[in-house]
Each structure stands twice: as C-alpha cells, then as structure tokens.
C-alpha cells in the first residue's frame, strides 16, 4: 500500500492495512487538539499499530497524551520502580533503580524473558487493556532493540469457516505467571506469596470484536487453558493454544519494528494484535522503554461474567 495523507498526517503503511508509520504530529502541543485525537484513533482502528519517530516526548507529555485516549492503568508494582517517576508508566527497561544494568539470573531478568514470547499486554487482568504506548528514552544500538507485531484480525479471517463456530465458543484462562514459567521454568517454579496474590488469572473469550466490529483473536502466551461454553476444560489445551499462536504469527501476518532512536513511540491496540520484544542480552547497552496502558472501555472489557467463572472445571 502506497504512502498517503489523512488530514495532514503522512501515512506509511507497513504490512497492508496492518501497521503504519505516521508523520506530521506536533508533539510539542500535547495535550493534542481533540479533532487530531479523533483522527489518530480512526487511523489506529484501521492499522492497529502506529509508529511515530522523533516525538521529543517526556514522561509528563507521554502520560498526558495517553490520558486523552482513555483511563490509564496504574502500575501494580509502583513502589518498586520509582525510577520512571510516575505510577502511570511501566518500566520495561533493562535498567535498575540505581541506574545499573539488569544482571543475568536476577528475578527481574527472568521476568523480562516472558516479554520475548508472543503476548497481549494485560490480558491476565479481568479488566483488560485497550492500548499500549511504549516510548524510547534510550536505545541500545542497531538491531538490539526491536518489537515484532502480529495481525490477529487477518489471522482470524483466514481460519476456515468450518472451524470458526467452535473457536467462537471458547474461553481462555490468562495468567501472568503461566507465561513467566514458560519463559523461565526453574525461576518461576515457586511464586512468592506477593506475586501469587497480585495477579490471579482472568477469563476472556478467544474470539473478540475489534473496534470496527471485525472479529479477531484475543490470545497471548499468558493463555493457560481453554474452556467450552459449559466451563469444561479442553483436553490438549496447551497444544491448541500454541497451534493458534503459531497460526497468528506466520510471516505473512507479522512485521518487525526497530527502536531506531530516542523519542520513538509505538502505539498498538491489544484487541487487534499480539507482540513480542527482542530479549535481553548480557552485552546489551541501556534499553530504556516506558509504557503507558489505556484500559479498555468497550463491551468486552471485563471478560467473562462471574457466573461463568464460578462453574469452571479447572
């Protein structure tokens, strides 16, 4: 798809109608005019992943812009990540609070390994997220900082029609600690009581509707189990989940975006995509990325009702 302009913004599509680099936003005027916010949301609905370069944003304006898109999720570990200076930003860097780089075989290093699995941010919360907005404050160098994105809309549309009814009926149990144990099984063999209490599992339909009404997968490495309409757990549930993730992450549905410079902002819709980060390496220089998360306010935001969760045969 060729580059084009929408209301003064230059669009460079990346993979058809999935992903686009956007130029022309004057980030110095944050909070942005409401008509511009409306235009950006319309563009976001279409492309699911938007990339902005050289934004010059700082924490304050990053948060202010994000808040124009909806209510922000509060970092549940605020008190342990004061380095970023606000509870509305998640510190997803390889930098400790004292400025040193994260060392291999620390709990934080192992926790970050889960980010290199295909996932959807905050799917493990019963009140799920809508948008993630990740801003670069320091990049480690060419090829060492990338994020891959997968189009779960097109992946769903390519499923044979004969298979779709049974997939629409399924419910996914999402749990943060499941993905962490997959990425680092020895480290997460035992959870601390604080970890266990902080993040119980959530339950969401496998097939959702995107902002324009189109169907899409809502899937992640956090997916621990699948259940049918009656709350019965499916046999071979992990095989089914990872077969679906493999389907969604075929080359034809994915692209890789590089964090080329400080000020790069990537804004994606968790209802329409999955993503994964490039993993930490011991030789990596400082990679300072900070994420705001906008809570979903749509009809499917709260996942399955309590009446369904109570009958689950776990």
| 114-123 per-position pLDDT tens digit | 999 999 999 9
Six token digits for residue 273: 């995509």
Exposed/middle/buried for residue 314 (C-beta within 10 Å: 0-12, 13-18, 19+)? exposed
Calpha distance 204→188 (Å, rounded)? 24
Residue 273 scores a pLDDT above 70: yes
Calpha distance 256→262 (Å, rounded)? 18
Indicate the pLDDT class of residue 143, thresholds 50, 70 and 90.
low
Helix ranges, 11-71 (H) = 34-47, 59-67
pLDDT for the residue 141: 75
Residue 314 scores a pLDDT above 80: no
Of the given ranges (108-117, 148-157, 198-207), which has the lowest mean pLDDT? Answer: 108-117
Residue 2 scores a pLDDT above 90: no
Q: What is the pLDDT of residues 118-138, one digit of tens each?
A: 999 999 999 999 999 999 999
Burial string for 177-202 (b: 16+ CB within 10 Å, else e) reads bbbbbbbbeebbeeeeeebeeebebb
pLDDT greater at residue 15 or residue 140: 15
Q: What is the pLDDT of residues 214-240, one digit of tens each?
A: 999 999 999 999 999 999 999 999 999
The mean pLDDT value for 32-43 works out to 97
pLDDT for the residue 78: 55
Mean pLDDT score across all residues of the chain = 93
Q: Residue 43: what are its φ and ψ, rounded to 5°?
A: -65, -40
Which domains can be identified in the chain, with CATH numbers? 4-309 (3.60.130.10)
pLDDT for the residue 96: 85
Exposed/middle/buried for residue 122 (C-beta within 10 Å: 0-12, 13-18, 19+)? buried
Sign of the CA dihedral running 82, 85, 89, 95: negative
What is the distance in angstroms between the CA of the first residue and the CA of the last residue of the chain? 46
Calpha distance 56→16 (Å, rounded)? 28
Strands (E), the chain: 4-6, 9-15, 18-23, 49-52, 90-91, 129-138, 146-151, 171-174, 202-205, 207-209, 215-217, 223-227, 254-258, 265-269, 273-277, 288-295
């Amino acid at each position: 798809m060729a580059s084009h302009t929408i209301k003064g913004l230059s669009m460079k599509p990346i993979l058809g109608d999935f992903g686009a680099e956007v130029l022309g936003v004057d980030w110095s005027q944050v909070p942005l005019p409401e008509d511009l916010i409306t235009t950006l949301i319309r563009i976001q609905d279409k492309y699911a992943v938007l990339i902005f370069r050289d934004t010059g944003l700082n924490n304050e304006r990053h948060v202010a812009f994000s808040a124009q898109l909806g209510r922000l999720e509060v970092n549940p570990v605020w008190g342990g990540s004061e380095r970023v200076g606000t509870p509305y930003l998640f510190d997803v860097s390889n930098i400790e609070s004292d400025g040193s780089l994260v060392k291999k075989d620390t709990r934080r290093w192992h926790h970050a390994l889960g980010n290199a699995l295909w996932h959807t941010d905050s799917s493990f919360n019963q009140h799920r997220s809508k948008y993630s907005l990740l801003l670069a404050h320091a990049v480690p160098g060419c090829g060492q900082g990338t994020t891959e994105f997968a189009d779960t809309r097109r992946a769903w549309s390519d499923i044979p029609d004969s298979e779709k009814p049974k997939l629409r009926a399924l419910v996914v149990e999402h749990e943060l600690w499941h993905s962490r144990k997959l990425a680092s099984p020895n480290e997460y063999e035992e959870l601390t009581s604080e970890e266990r209490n902080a993040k119980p599992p959530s339950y969401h339909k496998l097939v959702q509707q995107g902002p324009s009404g189109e169907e899409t997968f809502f899937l992640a490495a956090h997916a621990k189990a699948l259940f049918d309409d009656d709350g019965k757990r499916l046999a071979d549930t992990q095989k089914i989940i990872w077969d679906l993730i493999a389907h969604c992450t075929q080359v034809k549905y994915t692209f890789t975006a590089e964090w080329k410079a400080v000020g790069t902002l990537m804004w994606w819709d968790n209802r329409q995509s999955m993503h994964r980060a490039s993993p930490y390496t011991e030789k990596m220089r400082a990679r300072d990325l900070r994420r705001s998360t906008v809570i979903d306010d749509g009809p499917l935001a709260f996942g399955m009702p309590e009446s369904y969760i109570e009958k689950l045969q776990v």
